[in-house]
Amino acid sequence: MCGIVGFTGTKDAAPILLSGLSKLEYRGYDSAGIAVIDSGIYAEHPDLAGADILDWVDLSGAGSAVDTSHGTQVAGILAAGLRNGQGIDGAVPNVSILPIRITSRGA
C-alpha cells in the first residue's frame, strides 16, 4: 500500500513533508511517493541512480520533463541514494518521485 503526502504553500515544505512521511511509515505503509512540482528532473543525474522516478507530467508545454536545474536539485535532496559516493544522501531515499514540470525555464 502507498501513502500520499502533499503540501502547497509558502512555508518551508521539507519539515512538513518529512513529518507526514514519518507518520505514514509509523502506520505501516510500505512505500511513499512525492510529486516534485518544479522545472522537471534530469533522471540520469548520478545522485538519482537507482531512484524510482515515475513517468513525468509536463504542464509547461516544454515537451519533456528533463531539466538539470532546480527540480533535479529538489529530487536529489529527497531521493538521492545513500552512501553511493555521489553528492549527498537523500532525506527519503526509497521514495518514488513523480516529476511534474510547470515551467519551461532552466532546460
Which of the four pLDDT bands, split at 50, 70 and 90, describes residue 104? confident
The structure's pTM equals 0.69
Would you place residue 86 in the very low, low, confident or very high pLDDT band (cuts 50, 70, 90)? confident
- Is pLDDT above 60 for 34? yes
pLDDT class for 16, splitting at 50, 70, 90? confident
For residues 105 and 106, the model is more confident at 105
Task: Judge whether 90 and 48 are in contact, CB under 8 Å.
Answer: no
How many CA atoms within 13 Å lie on the side-chain side of 42?
A: 12
Confidence of residue 57 (pLDDT cuts 50, 70, 90): confident
Burial of 78 (0-12, 13-18, 19+ CB in 10 A): buried
- Residue in the block written with cell 513529518: 19
Residues 40/64, Cβ–Cβ less than 8 Å:
yes
Q: Find the mean pLDDT for residues 18-22.
A: 75
Q: DSSP state, 26?
A: H
